[in-house]
Structures are given as structure tokens and as C-alpha cells.
């Protein structure tokens, strides 16, 4: 009798555990999460230029004479949830990346696209000009398939190849790493910061007011866009890497690391001051060395973090509202260069969400 | 008094007209359509290869030694609606195109992605290897920005540049044409049919049974995929352009047009017979010349349509179920090379939807 009761209890416990594990699994893949209610979704090209060839088009010979080429636009996929919040989020990938940055994570969990749709934000994902689906540019380009993924493993602070950082918020299975390496895509033609910023400027002209979310290389371009288009009501920047803008005469000396020299840019004070009119938050992850290191992958981030802090101080000295959050300083450890797709990305999204609320941007 | 009544009537008429126009506008942009209920959405890479460099990775010098490159995968964005139907639809773009083919139309209406999600189908959109968001290949590539859009305007049978076909189902405003031209994107590296088919094969291995929807250049590759993966339960092909496969010894003579020679491929009978095991439907649009024409843009389609008809006859002679629908023959006029995004794409989708139902594939 006692044995049967014990068996039943164990069975019940197993059933409950199975249900619990199953619920967790379902949530993590998004399989059984509540449906996304999308009021509208679609895609378009925005910005760009047109090349026109001299001469008259020949419909028989089909030579290039008299023909056009439309290129240098950004490609945008957007989704607007039912009952969307005040401002949509425009998400802009970093170097070597494309819109995928914000979609499914390497291990198939939901990324920022889905997470913020669920929070009620409209989401616009950009492929910047000459990258990914916006591959049609006005300049020639070449692609050489040079193996470089172990470099990026280190630069993106997943670990020190072949070792993962012990506390890393990144899945350590082979399939996830395969997906991670495949989420890079080459430039087709030269990167042109003005072309990129102009396309994002045109996007905000088209969609109206919103919040710009940048990552890495788009961080610096994001400051330019913020100075160029007043529809950008705030900027959230994950691990901006370069092109911090200071008022003329106030740029700090270049910073040295084993990754090279990091210089700041100078812009007229009147331009710089535009960035003091909007709230800005910057996040950096973990495993950034505090002292100079011979390993350039990690060491570059030491000076970028330092530059970001000086930059925010300058913004705030001019009456702005910029915050730098070094995640380990608030007790969040193990984040890579991609906090928004790391294993703890729901927690990272909550930080951003709370900040948007605090600034009245939700 | 009569004047006041007249004024009121005119006002009422104006109000009704405004409401009518507003309703039409809202529907055409999808703004006020019922929400899409998405149970799950995300993206992943599938298929592909890995290059590994000899040597040992050097975390200081970061040279290419000991490093890898993952490339030649397809990039896939998928959405599964609540209460999805039996088989999802896998949509594969044509030459020079990418997943955009199936998203918003050039004038911002809903494309096949949304239309079939609303009909309850899971939708997978492919960027084939070395195209769009799947730009990371294992082979070098070059891109030359050669103006060629007027050629495509003719080849895609929008009209005879600068004139639109009088009955064309294509918006004739400038903004739509701008979007249309920007929805092409170059190859990064050579097109490799085997690489492409292998990636789609790997996709069907991953997702299980489904229906393959092809367009133009992916038509021919779709026959290969259909012979390679039994999870492909049917094929819907819009304007397949080349690589029709016949049993060994049964290929028709090459067909001549001012666009060049169109040859058929031969495969072992046992391979060919796999295509007789699944229902197949092929659609061609309007403005395909019946007699040889000096204009290669249009003339190429004359022989492709003829080849498709001979091909379907051969499939059916071997007990298969292939249908070629030349849309004007069933009273649907003005379609371009992109019937699924033309002005009448809801009608075109209904044809496909009815066919899926008829074949028990819904």
C-alpha cells in the first residue's frame, strides 16, 4: 500500500517534471508561445541612387545603352503588431551582418524581432546598402571566400578559439556555431557610410518617428543618422565600435589597443548638440579586458568601452541624456558582442524595455 | 430648398466616395485587413559547405591559417500561422531575384507570403546560396554595376520599354517601377545548380513534407529538387524558364528564338518517373508572342511555353499529373513574368489555392 502510494507520487512527480520541461522547451523554441498578432507586414527598398547610361535603349540588341541601374538602397522588412506602441523600433545590423542579427538566435530561440513584437513594438529590420538583400549597389565589388571565422569568434567575444569563455551566454553545441558562422554575409561593393546613413535617413522620412537600435558598426553610423533625422527619438546601441562623434576641438586622443588605433570624429558643435536632444543608451557585454592584452579580438573592446564612456560624459556635459551600461557592472555576466541574441536575451531585452518605459518612449 | 437638398446629396455622395476610396486604399496596403495570427516565425541557414584552412589558428596575428568559412547555404525566413494546413509552401525566387519576390508587391500590396499565410499555409521564403541574405559562398565573385533594367522590363514582359503593355497587370506609376527595379540583387559568386538544389533538398529534410513553389530560373532547379527529395509533395511553377528534364533519348530538339537556343535536359527514366508521382502545375502569363519575334525579351517565352507543354505531355504520358495553364487561355489577361505579384495576384493565388484543394494538398 505504502509502496503503491509512493509509486503513484513518483509517477505524478515525473509527469509534472515532464510537463514543466516540455513547457520550458516549448517556450524556448517559441513553438507553443502565444501567437504573434501582426496587423501588417511587408518589405520595401528605401533610399539609394540611379545610374543612367547615355544613348538609346535597343530592344533587340539589349546592350547597356540607355539603360538604368537602381542601387544603394536599404532593404527593409517590417511587422506592425496589433495595438502597437507609440514608436516602432528600427533595427540596424553591424559589420559583416544583416537583418538576421535580430531574427532567430543561432540556437533557434526568438531574437529581438519577435521579442519586441510580443512587447507591442513595430519592428523594422534593415539590410544596409550593398549588404544581404540590398546587394544591388552602384559600385563594383569583389568577394573572396577567405576563411576568417575563428577571428570573428574571438572578436565577437564568444571565447578564445577553440575555447568558449567559461561563463559565456552562448550555446556551445556544434549546430548553433554552424548557424552563427552562416549569419555573416559579405559586402557587395565598398562600405560607404554616407550611403548607409542616407538610406536610414530616408527610412525615417518614410515611417516617421521611431527608435533606432544599432549594433557594432552601425553604432557610429547611428550617431550620424541621429544628427541627420529628427524622427529618430532615441537610440539604443549595442556595443558600438567606432566613429564616436565629438564637438570640434574636443575629440580625445586616439586610443591604442592591440587591435589598432581607435580615433574619434569631430563634428560642428551645432551638429553634436542634436544628439543631446534625445535619450541614448549603450550596452556592452562581458569578457572585455581591463588591462591591455596581446589578443586583438578582445582588446579592441577595452578602448571602445572607454571611448563610449568619454563620449557619454561629453553628451551629458552638454545637457544630454546618454548612459553606458557595462553589463557585468550591473551583475549580468557572460554576454558576447551580441547580447540581444545571447542565451539571456530575454533579460537583456527587459533592460531595454524598462529603459524605453523610463524615458516615456513606450 | 432644392439647392440645399442638392448640396446635401452632393455632400453625402462625396462622403460615400471618400469612404469607398479609403476602404480600397486600406485594403490595398493591408492596413485594415484582419491581423495575421502567427504561431511561430524565424530564420535559419540550411545546407552548404565548409572550407577549412591548413595550419593552426593564431589568436594574435589572426591570419587565415587554421580558420574556416561556412558558405553555400540557403537562407530561410519562415512563418507558421495558427491552425496551419497540412503542407507548408516553400517559395523559391528566380534569376536575379531573392525572397522579396513573395513579399510586398512593387506597389506595396500583399504578396504570396501574406496571401497564403492568410489562407492558413506555413510559408518558407528562400534566398538561394550566393544570393541576397545567403551571400556567403565558397567561391570568389565579382559584381559589376551594369545598367540593364530596361532589358529586364522587356524580358519580364511588363511591356516594351518605355511602353507598358496596354493590358498589363502592373502598376504604371514611377514609385512602383523604382521598387520593382530595386527588388533584383546580384549573385555573389557563380550560380551552381547543384549547390542550390542541395540546399533546398536539405531544407525539405529539415521541415518534412511540403509543396514547392518556384519561379522562372528556380523552375528547372525545382524539377531536380523534386526528383531528389520525396518530401516535396507537389510543385507549383510560375513561368519556368529552362532545364526541363526528359527521359534519356526523349528530349525534344532545341528550340530557337531570338533570345537564343532552349535545350532540354535528359535524365535516367527512373529519375524522371519520380516527377510522375506528384501533382505539378505550371502557369504562364500574357503577352507571349505566338509567332517568332525579333524582340528577344518576349520571344524567349514563346519557346519556353512550348517546351513546358511538351514536357507536361511527357510527364502525363508516363502516368503523371502535370498541367500547364496559359493564363490568357482561361480568360486572364495582362500578366507579366511575376503573376503572383501582379495587380490581379489575389485572383492568381485563388487559382493555385483551388488547385491545391483539388489535389488534396490543403
Over residues B43-60, the pLDDT tens digits come to 999 999 999 999 999 999
Sort out which chain A residues have CB atoms less than 8 A from B177's CB and list them.
Answer: none
Please say if the pLDDT value at position B15 is more than 60: no
Distance (Å, rounded) from C-alpha B252 to C-alpha A105?
49
Distance (Å, rounded) from C-alpha B96 to C-alpha A292?
47
Which of residues 324 through 343 in chain A touch B, CB cutoff 8 A? none
Distance (Å, rounded) from C-alpha B147 to C-alpha B222?
29
Q: What is the DSSP letter of A263?
A: P
pLDDT at B352: 98
pLDDT at A118: 98
Please say if the pLDDT value at position A256 is more than 50: yes
Select the residue of B37, B64, B150 nearest A37 (Cβ to Cβ).
B37
User: Is residue A4 within 8 angstroms of chain B, CB to CB?
Assistant: no
Q: What is the DSSP letter of A117?
A: H
Helices (H), chain B: 2-29, 112-118, 149-155, 174-182, 193-207, 217-228, 269-274, 296-317, 345-358
Interface size between A and B, measured as CB pairs under 8 A: 241
Residue indicated by cell numbers 518589405: A43
Which of residues 183 through 202 in chain A touch B, CB cutoff 8 A? 183-186, 188-189
Q: Which of A281-295, B15-29, B228-242 comes out lowest in average pLDDT?
A: B15-29
Confidence of residue B141 (pLDDT cuts 50, 70, 90): very high
Averaged pLDDT score across all residues of chain B: 93
Q: State how far residue B234 is from chain A, nearest Cα, in angstroms.
A: 26
pLDDT at A33: 77
pLDDT at A107: 98
pLDDT at B14: 41
- Distances in whole angstroms, Cα of residue A350 to Cα of each of A322, A354, A355, A356, B248: 18, 6, 8, 10, 62
Q: What is the mean pLDDT of residues B280-301?
A: 97
Please say if the pLDDT value at position B13 is more than 80: no
CA dihedral B173, B176, B178, B179 (to 10 degrees): 180
Please say if the pLDDT value at position B304 is more than 60: yes
Sort out which chain B residues have CB atoms less than 8 A from A93's CB and list them.
Answer: none
pLDDT at A154: 98
pLDDT in tens, B87-133: 999 999 999 999 999 999 999 999 999 999 999 999 999 999 999 99
Averaged pLDDT score across all residues of chain A: 93
Confidence of residue B33 (pLDDT cuts 50, 70, 90): confident
Select the residue of A35, A178, A186 nearest B188 (Cβ to Cβ).
A186
pLDDT in tens, A64-77: 999 999 999 999 99
Neighbours of B271 (CB within 10 A): 16
User: Is residue A176 within 8 angstroms of chain B, CB to CB?
Assistant: no
pLDDT at B11: 43
- Distances in whole angstroms, Cα of residue A59 to Cα of each of A230, B82, B297: 45, 48, 8
Q: What is the mean pLDDT of residues A92-119?
A: 98
Could you tell me which residues are beta bridge partners of residue B163?
Answer: B160
Distance (Å, rounded) from C-alpha B239 to C-alpha A257?
56
Number of helices (H), then strands (E), belonging to chain B: the values are 9, 17
pLDDT at B2: 40
Cβ <8 Å between A185 and B297: no
Confidence of residue A244 (pLDDT cuts 50, 70, 90): very high
Q: State how far residue A190 is from chain B, nearest Cα, in angstroms.
A: 11
Percent of chain A residues topping a pLDDT of 70: 91
3-state SS, residue A204: helix
Q: What is the DSSP letter of B285?
A: -
Contact A214, A238 (CB under 8 A): yes
Could you tell me which residues are beta bridge partners of residue B100?
Answer: none
Percent of chain B residues topping a pLDDT of 90: 91
User: What ipTM is given for this predicted complex?
Assistant: 0.91
Taking CA atoms, what residue in B is nearest to A96?
Answer: B136
Sort out which chain A residues have CB atoms less than 8 A from B141's CB and list them.
Answer: 142-143
pLDDT in tens, A134-146: 999 999 999 999 9
Phi first, then psi: what are they for B212, rounded to 5°?
A: -95, 130
pLDDT at B24: 36
Distance (Å, rounded) from C-alpha A125 to C-alpha A102?
8
pLDDT at B26: 37
3-state SS, residue A296: helix
Pairing outcome for strands A245-247 and A260-262: unpaired
Percent of chain A residues topping a pLDDT of 90: 91
Q: State how far residue B227 is from chain A, nearest Cα, in angstroms.
A: 27
Which three three-digit cell numbers place residue B72? 553555400
User: Is residue B49 within 8 angstroms of chain A, CB to CB?
Assistant: no
DSSP characters over A48-93:
-EEEE-SS---TTT--STT-EEEES-EEEEEEEETT--SS-EEEE-
pLDDT in tens, A15-66: 444 443 333 333 344 445 799 999 999 999 999 999 999 999 999 999 999 9
pLDDT at B51: 97
Kindly report the three-state secondary structure assignment for every residue of B207-254.
HCCEEEEEECHHHHHHHHHHHHCCCEEEEEEECCCCCCEEECCCCCCC
Q: State how far residue A146 is from chain B, nearest Cα, in angstroms.
A: 7
Please say if the pLDDT value at position B165 is more than 70: yes
Distance (Å, rounded) from C-alpha B237 to C-alpha A232?
43
Please say if the pLDDT value at position B7 is more than 90: no
Mutation pick from B82, B122, B132, B133 vs chain A, by most beta carbons of A within 10 Å, is: B133
Which three three-digit cell numbers place residue A207? 515611417
Which three three-digit cell numbers place residue A188? 557587395
Which of residues 67 through 126 in chain A touch B, CB cutoff 8 A? 67-71, 73, 75, 77, 82, 98-100, 103-104, 108, 110, 114
Please say if the pLDDT value at position B10 is more than 50: no
DSSP element (H, E) containing B78: strand B74-81
User: Is residue B175 within 8 angstroms of chain A, CB to CB?
Assistant: no
C-alpha B275: how far from chain center: 20
Per-position b or e across A14-33, b if 16+ CB within 10 A of its CB: eeeeeeeeeeeeeebbbeee
If 0-12 CB within 10 Å is exposed, 13-18 middle and 19+ buried, where does residue B295 land? middle
Q: Which of A207, A176, A170, A225 shows the shortest CA–CA distance to A348?
A: A170
Sort out which chain B residues have CB atoms less than 8 A from A174's CB and list them.
Answer: none
Cβ <8 Å between B189 and A143: yes
Select the residue of A30, A40, A189 nearest B31 (Cβ to Cβ).
A40
Please say if the pLDDT value at position B28 is more than 60: no
3-state SS, residue A115: helix
Taking CA atoms, what residue in A is nearest to B258?
Answer: A60
Amino acid at each position: 500500500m505504502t509502496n503503491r502510494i509512493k509509486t503513484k507520487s513518483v509517477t505524478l512527480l515525473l509527469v509534472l517534471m515532464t510537463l514543466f520541461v516540455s513547457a520550458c522547451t516549448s517556450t524556448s523554441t517559441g513553438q507553443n508561445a502565444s501567437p504573434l498578432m501582426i496587423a501588417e507586414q511587408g518589405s520595401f527598398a528605401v533610399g539609394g541612387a540611379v545610374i543612367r547610361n547615355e544613348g538609346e535603349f535597343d530592344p533587340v540588341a539589349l546592350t547597356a545603352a540607355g539603360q538604368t541601374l537602381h542601387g544603394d538602397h536599404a532593404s527593409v522588412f517590417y511587422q506592425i503588431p496589433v495595438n502597437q506602441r507609440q514608436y516602432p523600433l528600427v533595427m540596424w545590423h553591424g559589420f559583416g551582418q544583416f537583418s538576421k542579427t535580430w531574427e532567430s538566435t543561432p540556437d533557434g530561440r526568438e531574437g529581438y524581432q519577435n521579442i519586441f513584437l510580443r512587447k507591442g513594438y513595430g519592428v523594422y529590420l534593415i539590410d544596409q546598402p550593398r549588404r544581404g538583400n540590398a546587394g544591388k549597389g552602384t559600385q563594383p565589388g569583389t568577394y573572396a571566400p577567405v576563411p576568417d571565422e575563428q577571428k570573428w569568434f574571438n572578436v565577437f567575444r564568444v571565447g578564445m578559439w577553440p575555447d568558449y569563455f567559461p561563463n559565456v551566454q552562448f550555446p556551445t553545441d556544434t549546430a548553433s556555431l554552424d548557424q552563427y558562422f552562416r549569419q555573416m554575409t559579405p559586402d557587395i561593393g565598398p562600405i560607404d557610410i554616407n550611403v548607409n546613413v542616407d538610406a536610414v535617413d530616408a527610412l525615417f522620412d518614410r515611417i516617421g518617428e521611431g527608435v533606432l537600435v544599432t549594433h557594432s558598426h552601425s553604432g557610429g553610423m547611428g550617431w550620424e543618422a541621429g544628427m541627420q533625422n529628427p524622427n529618430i527619438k532615441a537610440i539604443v546601441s549595442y556595443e558600438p565600435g567606432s566613429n564616436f562623434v565629438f564637438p570640434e576641438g574636443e575629440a580625445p586622443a586616439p586610443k591604442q589597443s592591440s587591435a589598432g588605433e581607435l580615433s574619434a570624429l569631430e563634428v560642428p558643435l551645432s551638429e553634436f548638440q542634436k544628439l543631446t536632444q534625445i535619450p541614448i543608451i549603450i550596452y556592452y557585454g562581458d569578457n572585455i579586458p581591463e588591462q591591455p592584452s596581446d589578443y586583438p579580438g578582445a582588446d579592441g573592446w577595452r578602448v571602445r568601452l572607454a571611448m563610449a564612456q568619454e563620449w557619454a560624459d561629453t553628451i551629458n556635459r552638454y545637457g544630454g541624456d546618454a548612459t553606458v551600461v557595462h553589463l557585468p557592472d550591473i551583475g549580468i555576466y557572460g554576454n558576447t558582442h551580441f547580447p540581444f541574441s545571447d542565451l539571456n536575451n530575454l533579460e537583456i531585452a527587459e533592460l531595454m524595455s524598462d529603459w524605453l518605459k523610463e524615458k516615456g518612449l513606450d
